[in-house]
Amino acid sequence: MSRAAVIEPVLLVHGGAGVRRQDIDAGSEDEIRGALAQALRQGHALLQAGHGALDAVTAAVVVLEDSPHFNAGRGAVFTHDGRNEMDAAVMDGATLRAGAVANLEHVRNPVLLARAVMEHSPHVMLAGAGAETFAREHGIALADPDYFRTELRWRQWQEALRREASGSNEDTPGGDRFGTVGAVALDVHGHLAAATSTGGMTGKRWNRIGDSAVIGAGTYADSHCAVSGTGWGEFYIRTAAAHAICMRVAHMRQSVHDAAERVIRGEIPELGGSGGAIALAADGTFAMPFNTAGMFRGRMGADGVPHVAIWKDEP
Amino acid sequence: MSRAAVIEPVLLVHGGAGVRRQDIDAGSEDEIRGALAQALRQGHALLQAGHGALDAVTAAVVVLEDSPHFNAGRGAVFTHDGRNEMDAAVMDGATLRAGAVANLEHVRNPVLLARAVMEHSPHVMLAGAGAETFAREHGIALADPDYFRTELRWRQWQEALRREASGSNEDTPGGDRFGTVGAVALDVHGHLAAATSTGGMTGKRWNRIGDSAVIGAGTYADSHCAVSGTGWGEFYIRTAAAHAICMRVAHMRQSVHDAAERVIRGEIPELGGSGGAIALAADGTFAMPFNTAGMFRGRMGADGVPHVAIWKDEP
């Protein structure tokens, strides 16, 4: 009883599910793996220095938002009418405090605004112009819409419009429905946190809000478990996917592996959805299931080495 | 095994928790009880005629949205800057399909738009101007902002501004944080549905979205259980209250009474929140817990009589 448990901090990140080998060239793949490793190093260094899980997931997600390779922040996909509209959320497992923002067009790092909402407003979820007013009042960095316009996403949008005009129902090549980024962390105090950020689906309409900003759907953390999802968001909302995984871990005594498998590779595909998630338990066990060809993902733990993977056959 | 189970349809409604005896006069109380009874009769008649649970909860919520006495539709409270901004959601337990809308200013019956989003869009959740564009495209009735301006809510807003100016942290008299409406139903096919509609909190800012429109927080239904919540929404989001109740019923084999008690009178007040919920299981058992002085509520089942109650000591 006198032994002080030494908790090894752990950080997991994802950069979206749904990618296929034909979608990315070798140069992009290297840059993507580099960005995931950089996000892991940045967040894990904070954990090693004794910072909280919330600081680590925020820092890791900022790195991924700043990369043009992921559908979040800088690399956000285009809406049906050619805008970039971003959602994000954070949740602190120790206190169940949460912040979520949706329909942002001018916020450079949506995850930083989600965190400010959690810490400096009486509300959990803000949207649109109101959320951006809050951002200005709290000194959150804004960006011109041009900042979010990348060549890849612009081409995907044009392609989506062409397919719509020709009546095709095919999926957009390049997994443009996916690419959401997220992180979950366990800190030296044994506390968990989760963060998710996204540009949503290419061609989305009517100020659609996806699962990333819906606490319980794409993002959840409590004292037992933290989850960040990435996939076809509507199915994550309908199954309350992140909360369902955490309920299974916290109250049904399932391993985080079994809990995440059941929801991500059971409930969601049974309804017709697809995607993945990263899930981390308070004992440091974790799972990174996905039901697509690939998922950008990474982990950094006791060995202090960033482990990055994309395809199914990678460890 | 040859016996065809006869399922008695059940409908529950609520018109918000948080009301205190000193907040309403006898005339208002009569009108409120009358509106709850009317909502029950309207929805239950559909169930008796063999319509689905989704039709019943939609019809019941429309009656409550049309009454000026509840904080939803017509009687919505005012935001900090003097607007009415409404959220709503519906969920069909049999299919896990859901629709949610937020930050509406011109939609006469937000619940009808939530249902249209579920039935006629590829998305689950729409907000603000985009949601209203979708409403126009789908023939959903709009209303001028004047329609939502009631004397009671205007006075509550003025009072809230005065208290803010004087630095008071007191709760607004009249339970203006509450008054959300909702319904859950079990139809003759054994299917469940839930619907919730609200004007949110008086004085809310920055396009705040509350729990009513967050699937899993204020609204959830699956094949075992349907829940509609009413209370201080931020706590319902943080605990994913409606989904937590349904997970306990569906996967932890708790009675709907125990599940709802644990979340509404356990988890939420432990975090500092308050409110109530209506919860209905597929076997027709139900619970209507609240941790406030009163909750506008009602039930109609096999006896075909609307049972309406407000205070704790009523059956």
Q: So what's the pLDDT on residue A22?
A: 85
Res B253 pLDDT > 80: yes
Percent of chain B with pLDDT over 70: 95
Which segments of A121-232 does DSSP mark as H helices, in order? 128-137, 151-165
Which B residues, 122 through 141, put their C-beta within 8 Å of a C-beta on chain A?
A: 122-131, 133-134
For residue B287, what are its two tokens?
Answer: 């619970």
Interface test with B, best of A118, A138, A171, A209 (most B CBs within 10 A): A209
Alpha-carbon span B45 to B31, nearest angstrom:
21
pLDDT at residue number B285: 98
Closest partner CB to A240 (pick from B100, B130, B215): B215
- For residue A144, which amino acid is it? D
pLDDT higher than threshold 90 for residue A313: no
pLDDT above 70: residue A177: no
Domain boundaries, chain B: 8-311
If DSSP codes are grouped into helix, strand and coil, which group holds residue A205? coil
pLDDT of res. B168: 65
CA dihedral sign of residues B117, B122, B124, B127: negative
pLDDT exceeds cutoff 50 at B173: no
Average confidence score pLDDT of chain B: 93
CA–CA separation, A111 and B168 (whole Å): 32
Q: What is the pTM of this model?
A: 0.96
- Is some CB atom of chain A closer than 8 A to the CB atom of B49? no
Q: Write the pLDDT tens digit of every residue in A148-167.
A: 988 888 888 888 888 888 87
Residue B99, pLDDT > 60, answer yes
B104-119 pLDDT per residue, tens = 999 999 999 999 999 9
Task: Give the dihedral sign, CA A44/A49/A51/A55.
Answer: negative
Between chains, do A134 and B238 touch, taking CB under 8 Å as contact? no
pLDDT at position A171 is 52
> Which is more confident, A314 or B172?
A314
Roughly what angle, to the nearest 10 degrees, separates helices A128-137 and B128-137? Answer: 170
The answer to whether the Cβ–Cβ distance between B134 and A216 falls below 8 Å is no
CATH topology of domain B8-311: Glutamine Phosphoribosylpyrophosphate, subunit 1, domain 1 (3.60.20)
Between chains, do A121 and B216 touch, taking CB under 8 Å as contact?
A: no
Å from A127 to nearest chain B CA?
5
- Catalytic residue annotation of A: 180
pLDDT band at A2 (very low <50, low <70, confident <90, very high): very low
Flag the least confident range among A83-87, B176-180, B272-276: B176-180
HEC profile of chain B: CCCCCCCCCEEEEEEEECCCHHHCCHHHHHHHHHHHHHHHHHHHHHHHCCCCHHHHHHHHHHHHHHCCCCCCHHHCCCCCCCCCCEEEEEEECCCCEEEEEEEECCECCHHHHHHHHHHHCCCCEEEHHHHHHHHHHCCCCECCHHHHCCHHHHHHHHHHHHHHHCCCCCCCCCCCCCCCEEEEEECCCCCEEEEEEECCCCCCCCCEECHHHCECCCEEECCCEEEEEEECHHHHHHCCHHHHHHHHHHHCCCCHHHHHHHHHHHHHHHHCCCEEEEEEECCCCEECCECCCEEEEEEECCCCCCEEEEECCCC
CB contact under 8 A, A240 and B220: yes
pLDDT of A1 above 50: no
Q: Does A217 touch chain B (CB under 8 A)?
A: yes
Minimum mean pLDDT range among A155-164, A219-228, A241-250, B95-104 = A155-164
Q: Which residue from B minimizes the CA distance to A93?
A: B238
- Which residues sit opposite B133 in a β-bridge? none
Cα A71 from Cα A75, distance rounded (Å): 5
Chain center to CA of B107: 17
Residue of chain A whose alpha carbon sits nearest to that of B128: A207
